[in-house]
Structure 1
Amino acid sequence: MAVALGMDAFSVSLGMGMQRMRLKRIALIGIAIGIFHVIMPFLGILLGKVISDQIGNFAIIASAFLLVAIGAQMIINAFIGDDKKRLQPIGFGLLIIAFTVSLDSFSVGLSLGMSGAKIAIVLFLFGVASTILTWIGLLLGRKVHSFLGVYSEILGGSILCGFGFKIFFG
């Protein structure tokens, strides 16, 4: 389950990695996404013991919408060429991206809270798997960027939009 939740972080980071970024930024993004993949299911586990699955559906829809919005922004900015208006994985932008990617782990946490799983082990594995898969995706995206140049921004935005639509309609 940890690898499955980390795969969405991999997909999103593959698209994000096509932006120019340093290795230090890549390390920070992976750690932030890993931390959110621990926090969100933990909150889901706590709430899962109290409420029903109604919030889980909202979390999935919000995650899909935010991914499509970030992807569309990347595509539009690739044509406009305005780097200042783009949501960068720095500061508040990093928090938004990490939150968006980890929203599906919140809904998984809801079901785990009702199942009685070993919480510490589950959360640790969620964090480690998503961090490693994020780093792999960012590094692969960085390599693709060097091959595609300007078109990598469009491809990265398309990946984010496609993944958002897959979450929404899938």
Structure 2
Amino acid sequence: MTLETIMSELITLFIMALALGMDAFSVGLGMGLIKLRMRQILYIGITIGVFHIWMPLVGMFIGRVLSDTFGTIATLLGGGLLILLGVQMVLSSFSKEEKPLITPVGFGLIVFALSVSLDSFSVGLSLGIYGAKTFLTVAIFGLVSMVLTWIGLLVGKRVQSWLGSYSEALGGSILLAFGIKLIFGL
């Protein structure tokens, strides 16, 4: 592998991690409007980061099994899954409904972390089909989502949540673009 190939893969994974973390960031903005202590913000970020490691890891293992079994068809399905996920994120960003407010404590924190990391399972499935490096991928996804969650929570404490829908639309657009890249090999 050349240095250029390695850097290209790192940049791609980092951009995908940003796209996935935008959901955690935008939900964190809304959650930041709840009166939270700094210790709670720390735990929420760590929990979201762990879920953004665990969910794509499970998805990647399942994706690798599918890849060995189905080859090209699995690659097309993985790209299609990314496209559908991206479109869903973009469309939901324009939805007028308010998301239900879950208190991020105890079981509510688990539900909150699971809800913002489900999309990372699908991306992990696609990346497993694609054959991405497991440790590097999940480490980047977990770290970026944890930091974006903290930023979202802290910014949410300071401002209104007007940026939330735009962040989700941006994240969905990036996932859509990577799905197209995976299908067409661009």
TM-score, normalising length: structure 2: 0.63
Q: What is the alpha-carbon distance in structure 1 between the residues aligned to residue 134 and residue 153 of structure 2? A: 28
SS at match of 2:103: coil
8 Å contact kept, 2:25–2:151: yes
Letter in 1 for 2:55: M
**Which residue does 2:148 correspond to in 1?**
133
- Aligned-residue CA RMSD (Å): 3.3
Distance 1:73 1:117, change over 3 A: closer
Aligned residue among 40, 52, 62 for 1:37: 52
Report how far residue 159 of structure 1 moved.
Answer: 4.7
User: Number of residue pairs matched?
Assistant: 143
Q: What's the CA shift string for 1:12-46, capped at 9, x where partnerless?
A: 10111111100000000000000000000001001
Aligned residue among 44, 64, 81 for 1:49: 64
TM-score, normalising length: structure 1: 0.69
Letter in 2 for 1:46: F
Report how far residue 3 of structure 1 moved.
Answer: 1.6
Unaligned runs of 5+ in 1: 75-86, 145-151
Distance 1:94 1:116, change over 3 A: same
8 Å contact kept, 2:56–2:120: yes
**Which residue does 2:134 correspond to in 1?**
119
8 Å contact kept, 1:12–1:163: no
Report how far residue 132 of structure 1 moved.
Answer: 0.5
**Which residue does 1:21 correspond to in 2?**
36
Q: What is the alpha-carbon distance in structure 2 between the residues aligned to residue 99 and residue 143 of structure 1? A: 25
Report how far residue 111 of structure 1 moved.
Answer: 1.0
8 Å contact kept, 1:48–1:114: yes
Report how far residue 103 of structure 1 moved.
Answer: 0.8
**Which residue does 1:103 correspond to in 2?**
118
8 Å contact kept, 2:42–2:150: yes
**Which residue does 1:73 correspond to in 2?**
100
Identity among equivalent positions (%) equals: 46
8 Å contact kept, 2:22–2:168: no
